[in-house]
Amino acid sequence: MPDIRNIPAEAWDWEKGTLKRGLLDNVCNELDKQALAFALGLRANTGGRIVSLSMGPPFAERVLRYALSVGADAGVLLTDRKLGGADTAATAYPLGQAIRKIAKDSFDGNRDYIIVSGMQSVDGDTAQVPPQIAEELGITHIAYATSFDFPEGQLQIRRITSRGAEIVAPQSYPCVITVAKWTEPPNALFSRTRWAYGQILFQWSAADIGADDARLGLPGSRTMVNRIFSPKELSRRTCVFEKDMTRLVGLLAEAYARKSKTAQEVRTEQPYQVLGGKKPHYAGEVWVYIEHNQGEVSAVSPALPFRPEFWMSCCRIGGNRKPPSWQSYWAAR
């Protein structure tokens, strides 16, 4: 992924709403380093092999070299122009296909393996790709892992939940585990780095993984970015020190009314600017991922940027049950 910690001003293409990737360094996603550390830790306990897989332009091979340099056994680069411009669904599908191929070619049909991934990329922040891979492959998915243990030889994963942490165990293999920040990113030895750069990587195209072209890249994507913008400060902030309670309530009410009005004005003044004349359209089904936690809907679920009413209706359709804490949750926002 591009190094977004240091974006020079000239790397923004404001008209197209994109980043000029050539002006940014290509780095390994920090959370994928966490996933690598997790995989290395698992291997130290169970033995086995680590195959690192990345999808991206040819220069993404450096990320695989890093994985090899810290201990991975093999690297697979999925690279094809057809894969460019993919959203999360069109990313998960080819990755799923590549995992099927790795399992078939490399594990001789043995299904006793784990797919470990960073919980999200720090540039896209969606956290959707690993669960979508699990759905694609029809396997179990454990999200937000922070550590593991092997009591009595059985793998147990500690994961973050909206109420703290819980310990779960995969009931079947293969499974997907996504990893949160849990340790320090692995460092490479010079000698191993030199070895890593001498290794041959597997380089696969869309055809190699037997992918259906209609599900790849921009044409295969279900979402697209319409517009990208920097949020602008709507009004200047001022501090008022009011001791009279009645006047304070009046000021609050006034400010609230003013804010609502401003937000309304902004909405009407700035309609969506459609890129390249493409109108946003909707086709297909809406999938809503709702996490359950001890019989209730987890508050983490609606953390996606949807409107509350939308979520409420989804929830009613899905579970026919209104979560008791949501109104207060949204009110608090």
Which chain residues interact with other proteins by CB under 8 A? 6, 8-10, 23, 25, 37, 183-191, 193-194, 197
Distance of alpha carbon 134 from alpha carbon 95, whole angstroms: 10
> Rounded to 5 degrees, what angle do the CA atoms 308, 310, 312 make?
70
CB of 64: closest distance to other proteins in angstroms? 15
Least distance between other proteins and beta carbon 20 (Å): 12
Rounded CA gap, 41 and 149, in Å? 10
Nearer residue to other proteins within complex by CB, 93 or 182: 182
Q: How far is Cα 76 from Cα 81, in angstroms, rounded to an integer?
A: 16
Closest CB to other proteins among 65 and 215?
Answer: 65
> How far apart are CB 8 and other proteins at their closest, in Å?
6
Nearer to other proteins, 27 or 176 (CB): 27
Q: Which is nearer to other proteins, 62 or 222 (CB)?
A: 62
Give the Cα separation of 74 and 104 in Å (integer).
15
Q: Which is nearer to other proteins, 195 or 326 (CB)?
A: 195
Q: Please report how close the Cβ of residue 321 comes to other proteins at its closest, in angstroms.
A: 43
Residue type present at position 76: V
> Which residue in this structure is represented by tokens 């969606």?
126
Contact 291, 281 (CB under 8 A): no
Rounded CA-CA distance 323/333 in Å is 16
Helices (H) and strands (E) in the chain, counts: 8, 12
Give the shortest CB-27-to-other proteins separation in angstroms.
11
